[in-house]
Amino acid sequence: MTHDILVVDNNPVILKLMTHFLTREGHQVKTAEDGLAALEIVKSFQPEIIFVDLIMPRIPGEKLCKILRRKKELRHTVIIILSAAAVEQKMNFKEFGADACIAKGPFKEIERHIHLIFKKLDEGCLSTLGNGIIGTDKVYKRIVTTELLSSRRHFWVTLNNMAEGFIELTEDGRIVYINQVAVNIIGRPEEKLLASDFLDIFNRDQKTELSELLINIGPEAVTIGEHEIFKFQDRYLTITLVALNEDEEKSIIVIIHDITRRKEAEFELQQYQENLEQIIQRRTAELKERNRELQDEIAERRQIAREKEILEVELRQTHKMEAIGTMAAGIAHDFNNLLSAIFGYTELLSLPSNIPPESLSHLRNITKAASRARELINLIQTFSKPEKQEFSRIRLPVIIGETLSLLRPSIPQQIKLITDIQPCQPIMGSAVQIQQVLLNICTNAIHAMQKVGGILSIKLRQQHPTGQRDATDLIELEISDTGIGISRENLEKIFDPYFTTQIGGEGTGLGLSVVHGIVRHHGGSITVNSSEGQGTTFIISLPASP
C-alpha cells in the first residue's frame, strides 16, 4: 500500500536517502528541513505518515509533534520519530503524540525498521510495537552526543525557569521558541503560538509599533514599555528585542518582562501623591480661610474692645455729669431761693420812703450783682436738668452765619477764619442754645491762639451712617483750631463743671459743661481730638429732621 509521506529533518543527507528509499517503494514524498517549514507544507498537503527528527532548529521535534497532533486534519496521521539522539535521551515519545520511534543508525537498518512499521500499519496493529525505541541494538551511545543533550536540557530548563518571557523569532517574525513564562503572559497554548506570527498577538497600534522595530532591528537591544506605557490585556509589559546572526541565518530574540506589580505600585504611589496634594491644597485653603476668619475675628474683637473702651469713657463721663448735674440742680435751687430773698429785700430798701438817697446807688450795685448771679444760676440749670423746651426746625447754616457776624469783630488779626458750610437738612432744636454752643467753643479756640495766631476752621456737612438702611442722617459740625491744644490728662476733664485751664479768674469753667448739656439734650454727641501743640477739634453730631 502506498502512502503520502512527509519527512522532517535538518540533515540533507537523511532527506535524500529517505526520499530515494520511499519513492522507490512507490510512496509520494515531501521533505522539510525544519519544523517551521513542515508546518507550512501541511497547510496544503495532508500526509498519512510523518517522519520527524528530534533535534532541529526552528521548532524541535517533540514540540512539532504536539503542534501537528492538535490539527484536526492530521488527527489520524502516523507520526514516527527518527532520531540519533533517541538512544542517549530517555523519553516517552507517546507523551508528545508520536506513534513510534526509530533510532538513527546504519541506513539499511533504518529501511528494515520502516518496513516493519509499514507492515504493522497495513495490518492495523501498529500499537503492538509498544513504547520502546526501535533499533537501539545497533546504535551505541556517544559521549559527545550525551554532553550536547545534557547541555541542551540545561539550556531549556534555564529558559523555562527565567522570571522573564523568552521568545525566538525568525527573520520574518514567526515564533520558533517560547518559554513557559511567555506562554503564561500571552495566555495561549504553546502549540498555538509556535510557528505563528509574533505580531498577531498584539492589537493594531502595538502591532504597528513593534513592526517598525522588527524591520529596523539591529545587534543592539531595543526596549519599549519602560518609560511609556505598554499594556497587553491586563498586564503592563516591557519588551526587549535584539537581532542574532548565526551561520548566515538571522533570528530575533524577544524578552518580555511583566512589570504589572511595579506599575500598579507606581500608579498607587502617584494616586497617593495626587490625593495627598489635594488634601494639602484643601487643608491649606481651609487654613487660609480659618486664618482669614481669625484675623476678621481679631479685628472685630479689637473694634469691640475699642468701642467698649469709648463707651466706658462715655459712661463714666455721663455718670459724672449726671452726678454733678444733680448736685448743681440742688445748689441752683437753693441759690435761687437766696437770690429771691436778696431781690425782695433790696426792692423793699429801694422804696423812697425807706432809704436815704445816698444809699440808693449801693442797692443798685447789689441788684446788679444779684442779676449776674441769677444768670450764672441759669447757666447751671441749663447744664444740669433744664426744663423741657419746645424745639423748632432750625437751619444751622443760618445760625452759623448770624453767630459769625457777632464773633468777627472780636477775632484778632493774627487768627484766620475759614468756613466750609455745605447745604444740609434742618434740625429740631433751640437757636439760642446752638448759638451759645458756637460762641463757647469759638471763644475757647480764639483764646488758645491769641498769642501766636492760627486758623479757626468751621465746617458743616450732612452724613449718612454706613451699614444702616433706615438710619437718620446726621448733621456734623466741626470746629477746629491750631492753638496750643489740650494735654492728655486734661482731655477727660474738659466737660467737668468749673474745670478751667485759664488763670487769673478769666473763666468760670462752665462753658464746655454747658455745651455738653446742650448737645446731649438735642439728642446729639460731641467728641474732641487734641494734643499739646497740635490744636483742638470739636465734632458735634446732631440728628437731621426729616
Interval 39-48: pLDDT, tens: 999 989 999 9
pLDDT at 505 over 50: no
Which 3 state secondary structure label does DSSP give 526? strand
pLDDT at 188 over 50: yes
Question: How is the chain split into domains, by residue range?
Answer: 4-138, 164-258, 263-383, 392-543
Q: What pLDDT, on a 0 to 100 scale, did the predictor assign at position 506?
A: 47
pLDDT, average across residues 456-466: 90
| 497 CB-near residues (< 8 Å, 6+ apart) | 324, 328, 380, 383, 509, 510, 513
Is-contact 422 473, C-beta < 8 A?
Answer: no
pLDDT, average across residues 153-166: 67
Is-contact 238 226, C-beta < 8 A?
Answer: yes
Which 3 state secondary structure label does DSSP give 202? coil
Choose among 121, 99, 122: nearest CA to 50: 99
List the single range of 151-155, 241-245, 502-506 with lowest mean pLDDT.
502-506
Angle between helix axes 260-349 and 511-521 (nearest 10 degrees) is: 110
| 453 CB-near residues (< 8 Å, 6+ apart) | 412, 414, 415, 416
* Beta strands, E only, 341-493: 392-394, 415-421, 427-429, 454-463, 474-481
Looking up cell 458743616, which residue turns up? Answer: 460
pLDDT grade, residue 147 (50/70/90)? very low
pLDDT, average across residues 461-473: 79
List the single range of 13-17, 134-138, 516-520 with lowest mean pLDDT.
134-138
Q: What pLDDT, on a 0 to 100 scale, did the predictor assign at position 482?
A: 93
- Which residue would you say has higher pLDDT here, 297 or 139? 297
Is-contact 377 335, C-beta < 8 A?
Answer: yes
Task: At 377, list the grid cell.
Answer: 444760676
pLDDT at 28 over 90: yes
Choose among 457, 477, 463, 456: nearest CA to 396: 477
Q: What pLDDT, on a 0 to 100 scale, did the predictor assign at position 502?
A: 57
Q: What is the CATH architecture of 392-543?
A: 2-Layer Sandwich (3.30)
- Which residue would you say has higher pLDDT here, 364 or 400? 400
In terms of Cβ atoms closer than 10 Å to its own Cβ (0-12, 13-18, 19+), residue 53 is buried
pLDDT at 409 over 60: yes
Average pLDDT over all residues of the chain = 82
Is-contact 193 175, C-beta < 8 A?
Answer: yes
pLDDT at 84 over 60: yes
* Rounded CA separation 230/284 (Å): 37
- Which residue would you say has higher pLDDT here, 160 or 289? 289
pLDDT, average across residues 182-205: 88
Count, in order, helices (H) and strands (E) of the chain: 14, 18
358-388: b (≥16 Cβ within 10 Å) or e: eeeeebeebbeebeeeeeebebbbbbbebee
pLDDT at 296 over 60: yes
pLDDT, average across residues 495-513: 58
pLDDT grade, residue 503 (50/70/90)? very low
> Ranked by mean pLDDT, which of 30-34, 82-86, 145-149, 468-472 comes out on top?
30-34
Tens digit of each residue's pLDDT (9 = 90 or more) over 298-318: 999 998 888 888 777 777 666
pLDDT grade, residue 340 (50/70/90)? confident
Percent of the chain topping pLDDT 70: 83
* Rounded CA separation 6/41 (Å): 9
Tens digit of each residue's pLDDT (9 = 90 or more) over 472-489: 899 999 999 999 888 888
Residue ranges in 173-259 assigned as alpha helix (H): 180-186, 190-193, 204-215
* Rounded CA separation 224/209 (Å): 9
pLDDT grade, residue 176 (50/70/90)? confident
- Which residue would you say has higher pLDDT here, 537 or 217? 537
CATH code given to domain 4-138: 3.40.50.2300
* Rounded CA separation 110/27 (Å): 16
pLDDT, average across residues 114-137: 81
Q: What pLDDT, on a 0 to 100 scale, did the predictor assign at position 29?
A: 93
Task: At 286, list the grid cell.
Answer: 481651609
Q: Which CATH superfamily is domain 164-258 in?
A: PAS domain (3.30.450.20)
pTM listed for this prediction: 0.45
